[in-house]
Amino acid sequence: MEDMLFYDRMQFAFTITFHYLFPQLTMGLSLMIVYFKWKFLRSKLEKYNEAAKFWMRIFALNFAMGVVTGIPMEFQFGTNWAKFSELTGGIIGQTLAMEGMFSFFLESSFLGLFLFGEKLLGHKLHFVTGLMVFLGSWASGFLIIATHSWMQFPVGYEILENGKFVLNNFSALFSNPWLWPSYLHNQLASVITSSFVVAAIGAFYILNNKHSEFGKLFVKTGVVFGLISSILVAFPTGDMVAKNVVKYQPVTFAAMEGIFETEQGGSEIVLIGQPNMLEKKLDNKIAVPNILSFLTYQDWNAEIKGLNEFDAKDYPTNVPGLYYSYHIMVGLGTIFIALMLVATVQLFRKKLYKTKWILWSLLFMLPFPYIANTTGWYTSELGRQPWLVYNLLRTSEGASPTVSSGNTLFTLLGFIGLYLLLGLLFLMLVGKIINKGPHIIKH
């Protein structure tokens, strides 16, 4: 049973990790495409219009990959997690169906119009199609996170005698206190990814003295969007998410911060340390006293519960994994703010495009927002374990009892091989678009 559960979780973790590499770019990029198109309508400068079309080509490839890699996860609800689907389908099925029926079709329909309908529609309606793609992608994220938020903090439900969850208050799904902080935090994190991608491609063009006009436009746009989103991800949205964890999942917060024992007179914030699960402590830690209490409760001496206050069976399944995921996310977020702040200062000093070390930094930082987003989701998911629906349905109770570990491992290996080929194809196609670059057609 333990092997079966392990491979079920591994397969879903792998497929959803690979899948989310694509939506995190498309959601943020859709906002920046709307910005480029709006700037074109305001200024009539063709470079903004071509920038919008250039990034929409990359958007379309990401969107296609997101669709292809998202479909297998839906099947896993019926194969590996059939019991979970049977018990909770009356609730999560509603938001997931809405995401497919409304958001996905809205996004995909108007994407086609944006890509191929500019001459037919004219520039104003072309802008509207880009706006609808943006609304569709962000609505899709909202409905997915509404589902996820219900699993983190279930509301508006009742449990029937047969153990099935049914919804008795539909509006509660969308007024869930877990939803809005998580949604805003996630969407801003996707803007960070798109900002760094746009800035990195711009830096690549400037450093190679290729498409330099667009390179400067992309760097400027990416840096400004990146600074704003990096700050907002940390505060207020990140702060709001953390306070939700403290309030509704205190054992998770203790594991995230590496607090094994409740500390009297205020809790320190750990900068570096390694969880030692045998001795229930952090090894080699570097910490700042009382800061965590102040950040959490605005009180230097506030008490924060340690893991010692909770039953061991309710600990997150993988405390070290949760701790490291959280600290990687926070550490990278701090670096993002610092880099974008320095770049913005140089931008206002009109020295950014000639400051090569910043351009190289922007270029080489390209993969790190993906890592930060992934570890952010790992923090959320590892933090909820050992529950599928927090405090109501354990992960072990949601797995399919009839799917063997051997079958799951076999299909997991198949996914790894297939996704490796898809990933290589995707990189080749995106590389061709970037190499060709945006271009202004002379009329």
* pLDDT tens for each residue of 113-157: 999 999 999 999 999 999 999 999 999 999 999 999 999 999 999
pLDDT at 157: 96
pLDDT at 265: 80
Look at residue 423 and tell me whether its pLDDT is greater than 60.
yes
Asked, for residue 292, whether it belongs to a domain, the answer is: yes
- 294-321 as b/e: b if 16+ CB within 10 A: eebbeeeebebbbbeeeeeeebbbbbeb
Q: What are phi and psi of 389, to 5 degrees?
A: -115, 115
Look at residue 443 and tell me whether its pLDDT is greater than 80.
no
Range of the domain at 323: 209-400
Within 8 A by CB and 6+ apart from 227, the residues are 337, 340, 341, 343, 344
Look at residue 441 and tell me whether its pLDDT is greater than 80.
no
Asked, for residue 28, whether it belongs to a domain, the answer is: no
> What rounded mean pLDDT belongs to the chain?
94
Mean pLDDT along residues 266-294: 92
Asked, for residue 375, whether it belongs to a domain, the answer is: yes
pLDDT band at 254 (very low <50, low <70, confident <90, very high): very high
pLDDT at 328: 97
pLDDT at 263: 82
* pLDDT tens for each residue of 429-439: 999 999 999 97
Asked, for residue 311, whether it belongs to a domain, the answer is: yes
Mean pLDDT along residues 178-201: 98
Look at residue 257 and tell me whether its pLDDT is greater than 60.
yes
Look at residue 372 and tell me whether its pLDDT is greater than 60.
yes
Mean pLDDT along residues 398-424: 94
pLDDT band at 1 (very low <50, low <70, confident <90, very high): low
Query: What percentage of residues in the chain have a pLDDT greater than 70?
Result: 99
Burial class (CB in 10 A: 0-12, 13-18, 19+), 407: middle
Mean pLDDT along residues 99-110: 86
Domain count, the chain: 1
pTM of the model: 0.96
Asked, for residue 230, whether it belongs to a domain, the answer is: yes
Q: Which of 229, 210, 205 is nearest to 32 (CA)?
A: 229
Mean pLDDT along residues 286-296: 92
Asked, for residue 203, whether it belongs to a domain, the answer is: no
Asked, for residue 258, whether it belongs to a domain, the answer is: yes
pLDDT at 439: 77
